[in-house]
Structure 1
Amino acid sequence: MALRFQRFSQGLAQDPTTRRIWFGIATAHDFESHDDITEERLYQNIFASHFGQLAIIFLWTSGNLFHVAWQGNFETWIQDPLHVRPIAHAIWDPHFGQPAVEAFTRGGALGPVNIAYSGVYQWWYTIGLRTNEDLYTGALFSIISFCPILNRGWLHLQPKWKPRVFMVQKC
């Protein structure tokens, strides 16, 4: 015996809760109706959010560079890239038992580590980085670049510095 769906009740359609839900669904992307945002303000927010995204990328890059320089084996990998497995960072977890420590101790490390399979070692070598000092310098540059970029994003949200719509639409 097949189940049949009940017919939609017109009485239910008149219920204030149902109307409110359907109104919310219908106007979910109509910014002007529920938060008074205009097309100009929307474009300005998108423009400013690009600075925020760029700042996050610089922060993330800084963390990668710093942790590989601190806990990785970049200089050892430079000497013998075919036989040395690149270490991303150490794993510090007090809940590890001895079997887990042994399972994650690899690549010639003294303790448990994550191996870097992403290709960042190869990329850094390609762009000319050769020492841990180069990695630390790159991390410092990235973290210093992060601050003004994030500040520019905040600045473009302020009324005095907001970009004009035609500038954003042409990008």
Structure 2
Amino acid sequence: MDDTDGVAARTRRLLEGARYLNLATARDGLPWVATLEYVWFPGPLRLVFGSSTGSRHSGDLARDPRVSGALFVTGAGSGVEFAPVDGAQFTGRCEELAPERLAEYYEPFYEGVFPDPGERERWRLAPALLAPPAVHRLYLVTVDRWWLIDTRTWAEDRVDRRTEVAPEELAGVRRTT
């Protein structure tokens, strides 16, 4: 893998550069993928997204918390000179945030998804609208495995491969802001 600036720096660039993640769930053997806005938190790597309890993926998560997903950046945003895309895939467990944990993620979620204060105020739901009996929730994915595109071999033979990142390398991912 091309690791000139380190796995942690590359992972951070992906997490900060990708606006959406694709989250895969399953129910009764039938797969489903949802594209979701998210914010991320380091140590351990966590992803937070908002959704309606009536959505297909929310129903799937109520039955089985295991998820997989992917995120990517293209063009100059990839940060890889010779690769038109850079990305990561992951697996983890997802849970609906309990009302008592909402305060920990509420402000960072809205600040990350809506960096512009005017847009944030326009779209922000009050905390009471993110807890039962309301229909919206915040969900937390705790990442347990992480793979990066192997950009070194892509440059050599154009074969799309992944390289798993060791947990200790992923522990080095920190926010720049």
Both proteins in one fold, TM over 0.5: no
Give 1 or 2: higher strand fraction.
2
Which one has the bigger helix percentage?
1
Q: Over alpha carbons, which structure has the higher Rg?
A: 1
TM-score scaled by length of structure 1: 0.22
TM-score (norm 2): 0.22
